[in-house]
Structures are given as structure tokens and as C-alpha cells.
Structure 1
Amino acid sequence: MQVLSRQRGVSLIEVLVAIVIFSVGVLGLALMQVKGAQFTKEAGSRSNIIVQVRSLIDAMRANPAAATMPIKAANPASPSSSDCPYCYAGTEELVSTCTTDCDLDGAAKRDLIDWVKRVKSAAPSAVGTNAPVATVSWDTSLGMYVITANWSGGAMDGKQAKVSDNLSYTLNYLP
């Protein structure tokens, strides 16, 4: 009569299967870390832009006479550029000769120039579009400013940013 021996230990196949399962789990954790870093970068850019847009509103609050000029314009339904010192289409070159003692218009232009510089440095510029980094317009139907900032959410790991990575933040402000 032959006695069957019992196997003890683990076979090589079982070890290989365990290693494959463990490797897939580690790759999943690594992917979660990369995505987490990407979302953190995007959230940081969004926070910086929001702070900058709100800083322009604070500048408008500090200069209410210039901020309310579109309301007091001769034709509030269609204020001219001189009636809206805070308006900026995003394409024109901002120039201010005002350095210390400024009139309302000069102070508003100086605020706008400083703000555009801060927005440009706060987040990467939008890619693949002709969208300006920032715009400030007077919406006559709403009777308020529409402030918009555009930037690229960016790609991670040196990849080229795509148009689909572009983000935008718009805030309406009633002076």
C-alpha cells in the first residue's frame, strides 16, 4: 500500500499570481499619486486666479469713482473707453504714465496694468486659442463688470498642454 504524502508550502504558480496582483495594485497607487498631483496643480492655479480676480475687484472698491464711471456715462447703454477706465479687451497694450499722483482714470489704468501682470504670472497662459489671458468688460444688459481670466490647467510630466486643458473663471461685479 502506498501512502500519499501531503504537500506543504506554496507552489511557484501561486507566488507568481500573487506578485502580478501586487504589481497591479502598486501601479494603481502610482497612478492615483500622479492624478492627485495633477489635480493639486490645477486647484492651485484656480485658487491663484480667483485671488487675482478678486484683487481687481478690491482695487475697484478702493477707487469707486472710476469704477462707477460707466454707470454715470453720458450714454450708459454704450459707454466709451474713456467712460470705462477698468475695461480691458485683453488685446490692447496697457500704458499708464501715472506713477504717484494719479487722477481717477490714471489710478484705474495703473490698477489694471498691475492686475494683468499678476494674472499672467499666477497661472500658465491658455494654449491653442486666441483667448486673452484676462478681460474686463462692462455688460450694459447686466449693468456690471464681467471679469474673465483664462489659463491652461496644464499637463503633467512634461506633456504638451492641449486646448482641452484650458480653464476659465468669470466673475461679475456690480460697483
Structure 2
Amino acid sequence: MVTYMANIFRKEQGISLIEVLVTLVILAVGMLGIMGMQARLQQSEAEVYQRTQALILLQDMASRLAANRNQAASYVTGPNSPLGAGMTCPASGATQLERDRAEWCNALQGAAETDATGNVGAMLGGRGCVESLGSGQYLITVAWQGLGALTAPPSGAACAANSYNLAGSECTGDLCRRVVTTVVRVATL
């Protein structure tokens, strides 16, 4: 009987070690999943922050345009010459129009918040356009560079089109360009 029990004990040696190793593998896979989820969450949070900033700047220009309705046609930039990233902002002049264009351009470049390296208070590559749709209607668009490729914006939102295509990356065909738009109707009084 003692020999029989000794044989069983020898056969069971190492079983608990295998169980511990399987548990560690399962735990490691779970931790990797949590880390991946955390990284994706941080990217999503940054995208949401950029969209929020874009919506604030969009509403800012809509308010400026509506407040200076007599000069609304002068706010038009067109989709191919946006204000913001990659350009020198116009000087703030004596007229409301000049101040509005300069302040909006600076805000698109992130001048609302700065650190030792420069402007950091806006979206990546923020650009803004004002287009005339006729009949006192203006399309205001804010565009920026997203952190990853998604679907391209609709063709009707042409502001800063092809400005965020990076050769050799997933950001081609405007897949990293994000836009928000609104239409402002200006009544003739």
C-alpha cells in the first residue's frame, strides 16, 4: 500500500506548478488587454478634447459673424485659404472684422493656452474656413488632424482638404482630417 501511495505522489508532482503557470499566463493576457484598452481610451479622450475645442471655435466664429452681419461677406475665406495652422495670422486692426479674423486665427493656432514650447490650446493643425452659400447663408468649418485614420469627411466640407495627408502613414485620402460645420443665416436688415 505504501508503494502504491508513493507512486501516486510521484505522478502528481509538478501538477500544482502547471496550474500556477496557466494562471500566470491567463493573468498576463488579461493585463495586456487592460493596457490596450487604456491606450485606446487615452486616444479617444484626446479625440474628444480636440472635437470639443473645434466646436467652441466654430461657435465663436458663428457668433462673431452674426454680431457683425453688415460685414458678413468680408469674413469669407473660402475652403482653399483657411485661417489657422500653417499661416501667419492677420494683424488685429481697427475694424471689428480685422479683430475677429485675427483673434479667430490665433485661437485656431492655440494661442488661448501656451507653455514654454508655444501655443497648446487648440486642436492639432486647426484650420477654419468661412464660405458663402448665397442668400445670406455662410458655412463655417473648423478642420483639424485626428490621431488616427477614420472615414474621410463628406466632400461638401472642403475646408483644409488634403492638408493632413502624411506619406507613408495611414493618414492618406483625408482619413485623418476631422471637421465640424455649421450654417449661419444672416438676415438683411
Flag the 1:143–1:65 CA change in 2: closer, same or farther, 3 A. Answer: closer
Structure 1, unpaired ranges of 5+: 68-83, 127-132
Change (3 A) 1:16 1:174: same
2:89, 2:105 within 8 Å by CA — same for their partners in 1?
A: no
State the identity %: 25
**Displacement after TM superposition at 1:10 (Å):** 5.5
Letter in 2 for 1:147: I
- Correspondences of 1:92-171 after superposition (within 5 Å): 95=90, 98-99=93-94, 102=95, 107-121=96-110, 122-125=122-125, 133-140=127-134, 143-154=136-147, 162-163=171-172, 164-171=175-182
Return the TM-score normalized by structure 1.
0.69
Long gaps (5+) in structure 2: 83-87, 111-121, 149-168
Q: How big is each residue's C-alpha offset from its partner over 1:83-115, in whole Å with a ceiling of 9 and x where there is no partner? A: x1110125277645723xx3xxxx123212211
Distance 1:97 1:110, change over 3 A: closer
Query: How far apart in 2 are the matches of 1:57 and 1:152?
Result: 21
Q: What is the identity, as a one-letter code, of the residue corresponding to 1:36? A: L
Equivalent residue number for residue 75 of structure 2: 86
Q: Distance in 2 between matches of 1:30 and 1:62?
A: 48
User: Is this contact kept in 2: 1:63–1:108, CA < 8 A?
Assistant: yes
Q: TM-score, normalised by structure 2?
A: 0.64
* Count of equivalent residues: 142
